[in-house]
Structure 1
Amino acid sequence: MKFLQAAGADFLGMGPTLPLSNSAAEVLHKLDDLRRRTQSTAEDARKLEQDQEAFALQYHECTKVNAHIQQLVSQGTAQDQQATYIKRKEMLELDLNRRVAALMELRLKLTEKYKQIYQVLHQLQSQIIDDELIRWKRDQQLAGNGVPFTSNLDQIQDWCESLAEIIWHSRQQIKEVERLKQKLALDPPGVVDVLPSLLTEITQLLSSLVTSTFIIEKQPPQVMKTNTRFTATVRLLVGGKLNVHMTPPQVKVTIISESQANLLLKNDKLIKGGDSSGEILNNTGTMEYQQTTRQLSVSFRNMQLKKIKRAEKKGTESVMDEKFSLFFQSQFSVGGGELMFQVWTLSLPVVVIVHGNQEPHAWATITWDNAFSEPGRCPFQVPDKVPWGKVKETLSQKFKWATGRGLTEDNLRFLAEKAFRGNYSESSNCMLSWAQFCKEPLSDRNFTFWEWFFAIMKLTREHLRGPWVDGAIMGFVKKKQAEEMLSTCQAGTFLLRFSDSELGGITIAWVSDTQEVFSLQPFTSKDFSVRSLADRIADLGHLVTLYPDTAKEIYFQKYYTPFQEQRPSTNGYIKPVLVTQVLGLAGTNYNTPPHAFMSPDPTRDTPSVDSSYAGSVATTATAPQLGMDYLDQLDDNSYAALGLNNDFDLMMNYGK
Structure 2
Amino acid sequence: MHILQQAGPMTTERRDLEACLRIQIEEMERKLNVLVAQINQSQLELADHMKDNIANLRQLQSQVLDEELIKWKREQQLSGNGVPMQSNLNTIQEWCELLADLIWTSRQQVNNVSRINNKTIPELRQPHLIEMLEDMSKQVTNLLSTLVTSTFVIEKQPPQVMKTNTRFTATVRLLVGGQLNVYMTPPRVSVAIISEQQAQLLLKSETQAGKGKQPVECGDILNNSGVMEYQATSRQLSVSFRNMQLRKIKRAEKKGTESVMDEKLTLLFQSQFNVGGGELVFQVWTLSLPVVVIVHGNQEPHGWATVTWDNAFSPPGRVPFAVPDKVSWGQLAETLRIKFYSATSGGDLSEDNLRFLAEKIFRSSLPMNTIELNAQMVSWTQFCKDALPERNFTFWEWFYMVVKVTRDYLRTLWCDGLIMGFIQKKQAEEMLSKCPPGTFLLRFSDSELGGITIAWTGEGNEVFSLQPFTSRDLMLRSLADRVLDLPQLQHLYPSIAKDAVFSKYYTKPENEMLKNGYVKPVLVTTLPPYMSSMASYAHSPDSHRNTPSAHSSCFSAATPAPTENTFMDSDLFEQMRAFDPESFDEFNLYESMSMK
| Alignment TM class, shorter chain as reference | 0.7 to 0.9
Letter matched to residue 198 of structure 1: M
- SS for the counterpart of 2:131 is coil
Q: Find the counterpart in structure 1 of residue 164 from structure 2.
A: 226
Letter matched to residue 348 of structure 2: G
CA distance in 1, matches of 2:469, 2:540: 15
Which one of the candidate residues 557, 561, 583 is aligned to 2:528? 583
Q: Find the counterpart in structure 1 of residue 360 from structure 2.
A: 418
Q: Find the counterpart in structure 2 of residue 446 from structure 1.
A: 392
Map of 1:237-276 to 2, 5 A cutoff? 237-268=175-206, 269=211, 272=214, 275-276=216-217
Q: Find the counterpart in structure 1 of residue 437 from structure 2.
A: 491
Map of 1:50-129 to 2, 5 A cutoff? 69-76=1-8, 78-129=14-65
> Which deviations, in whole Å up to 9, do the C-alpha atoms of 1:90-140 show, x marking residues without a partner?
232122011011101101101110111111111111111111110110000
Q: Find the counterpart in structure 2 of residue 474 from structure 1.
A: 420
CA distance in 1, matches of 2:104, 2:342: 43
Deviating more after overlay: 427-436 vs 198-207? 427-436
Shift of 1:270: 6.0
Q: Find the counterpart in structure 1 of residue 519 from structure 2.
A: 574
Shift of 1:542: 2.0
Letter matched to residue 528 of structure 2: L
> Which deviations, in whole Å up to 9, do the C-alpha atoms of 1:487-506 show, x marking residues without a partner?
22222211100000110100
* 2:406 is the alignment partner of 1:463: no
Map of 1:185-196 to 2, 5 A cutoff? 185=122, 186-187=124-125, 193-196=131-134
Q: Find the counterpart in structure 1 of residue 291 from structure 2.
A: 350
Q: Find the counterpart in structure 2 of residue 142 from structure 1.
A: 78
CA distance in 1, matches of 2:48, 2:21: 40
- SS for the counterpart of 1:205 is helix
* 2:494 is the alignment partner of 1:548: yes
Shift of 1:333: 1.1
Q: Find the counterpart in structure 2 of residue 529 from structure 1.
A: 475
- SS for the counterpart of 1:193 is helix
Q: Find the counterpart in structure 2 of residue 168 from structure 1.
A: 104
CA distance in 1, matches of 2:435, 2:536: 24
CA distance in 2, matches of 1:614, 1:602: 31
Q: Find the counterpart in structure 2 of residue 636 from structure 1.
A: none
CA distance in 2, matches of 1:178, 1:305: 52
- SS for the counterpart of 1:333 is strand
CA distance in 2, matches of 1:211, 1:203: 12
Q: Find the counterpart in structure 2 of residue 654 from structure 1.
A: none
Q: Find the counterpart in structure 2 of residue 13 from structure 1.
A: none
Letter matched to residue 495 of structure 1: L
CA distance in 2, matches of 1:416, 1:340: 54
Q: Find the counterpart in structure 2 of residue 61 from structure 1.
A: none
- SS for the counterpart of 1:577 is strand
* 2:160 is the alignment partner of 1:236: no
Relative distance call for 1:188 and 1:299 in structure 2 (3 A) is closer
Relative distance call for 1:598 and 1:373 in structure 2 (3 A) is farther
Aligned-residue CA RMSD (Å):
2.3
Letter matched to residue 608 of structure 1: T
Shift of 1:409: 0.5
- SS for the counterpart of 2:40 is helix
Shift of 1:430: 1.2
Deviating more after overlay: 552-561 vs 605-614? 605-614
The answer (yes or no) to whether the contact 1:500–1:605 under 8 Å persists in 2 is: no
Gaps of 5+ in 1: 1-68, 587-593, 624-656
Shift of 1:514: 2.5
TM-score of the aligned structures, taking structure 1 as reference length: 0.80
CA distance in 2, matches of 1:237, 1:297: 9
Shift of 1:205: 1.1
CA distance in 1, matches of 2:3, 2:55: 55
CA distance in 1, matches of 2:363, 2:249: 37
CA distance in 1, matches of 2:414, 2:212: 49
The answer (yes or no) to whether the contact 1:501–1:605 under 8 Å persists in 2 is: no
Q: Find the counterpart in structure 2 of residue 49 from structure 1.
A: none
Letter matched to residue 482 of structure 1: A
Shift of 1:539: 0.9
Letter matched to residue 7 of structure 2: Q
CA distance in 1, matches of 2:86, 2:397: 30
> Which deviations, in whole Å up to 9, do the C-alpha atoms of 1:136-167 show, x marking residues without a partner?
10000000000111341111111111111111
The alignment-based identity, stated in percent, is 59
Q: Find the counterpart in structure 2 of residue 612 from structure 1.
A: 551
Letter matched to residue 552 of structure 1: K
* 2:277 is the alignment partner of 1:341: no
The answer (yes or no) to whether the contact 2:454–2:468 under 8 Å persists in 1 is: yes
The answer (yes or no) to whether the contact 1:501–1:606 under 8 Å persists in 2 is: no
Letter matched to residue 519 of structure 2: I
Map of 1:171-210 to 2, 5 A cutoff? 171-184=107-120, 185=122, 186-187=124-125, 193-210=131-148
Letter matched to residue 352 of structure 2: D
> Which deviations, in whole Å up to 9, do the C-alpha atoms of 1:401-422 show, x marking residues without a partner?
1112121100000000000111
Shift of 1:516: 1.5
- SS for the counterpart of 2:284 is strand
The answer (yes or no) to whether the contact 1:278–1:307 under 8 Å persists in 2 is: yes
CA distance in 2, matches of 1:559, 1:432: 39
Map of 1:150-161 to 2, 5 A cutoff? 150-161=86-97
The answer (yes or no) to whether the contact 1:372–1:382 under 8 Å persists in 2 is: yes
CA distance in 1, matches of 2:41, 2:409: 78
CA distance in 2, matches of 1:147, 1:71: 89
Q: Find the counterpart in structure 1 of residue 149 from structure 2.
A: 211
Shift of 1:451: 0.5
The answer (yes or no) to whether the contact 1:229–1:303 under 8 Å persists in 2 is: yes
Relative distance call for 1:230 and 1:607 in structure 2 (3 A) is farther
Map of 1:636-647 to 2, 5 A cutoff? none
CA distance in 2, matches of 1:568, 1:240: 59
The answer (yes or no) to whether the contact 2:459–2:535 under 8 Å persists in 1 is: no
Give the paired residue count: 546
Shift of 1:190: 7.4
Relative distance call for 1:272 and 1:547 in structure 2 (3 A) is same
Q: Find the counterpart in structure 1 of residue 268 from structure 2.
A: 327
CA distance in 1, matches of 2:21, 2:134: 42
Per chain length, whose mean CA-contact separation is higher, i.e. which structure has more relative contact order (CA < 8 Å, sep 6+)? 1
CA distance in 2, matches of 1:189, 1:462: 74
The answer (yes or no) to whether the contact 2:402–2:450 under 8 Å persists in 1 is: yes
The answer (yes or no) to whether the contact 2:114–2:130 under 8 Å persists in 1 is: no
The answer (yes or no) to whether the contact 2:460–2:535 under 8 Å persists in 1 is: no
> Which deviations, in whole Å up to 9, do the C-alpha atoms of 1:603-623 show, x marking residues without a partner?
855862211012355734469
> Which deviations, in whole Å up to 9, do the C-alpha atoms of 1:157-215 show, x marking residues without a partner?
11111111111111110111011111114345877731111111111111111111111
Relative distance call for 1:159 and 1:70 in structure 2 (3 A) is same
The answer (yes or no) to whether the contact 1:499–1:606 under 8 Å persists in 2 is: no
Map of 1:297-376 to 2, 5 A cutoff? 297-376=238-317
CA distance in 2, matches of 1:111, 1:607: 87
Which one of the candidate residues 213, 220, 224 is aligned to 1:279? 220
Relative distance call for 1:598 and 1:108 in structure 2 (3 A) is farther
Shift of 1:597: 8.7
The answer (yes or no) to whether the contact 1:581–1:614 under 8 Å persists in 2 is: yes
CA distance in 1, matches of 2:226, 2:294: 25
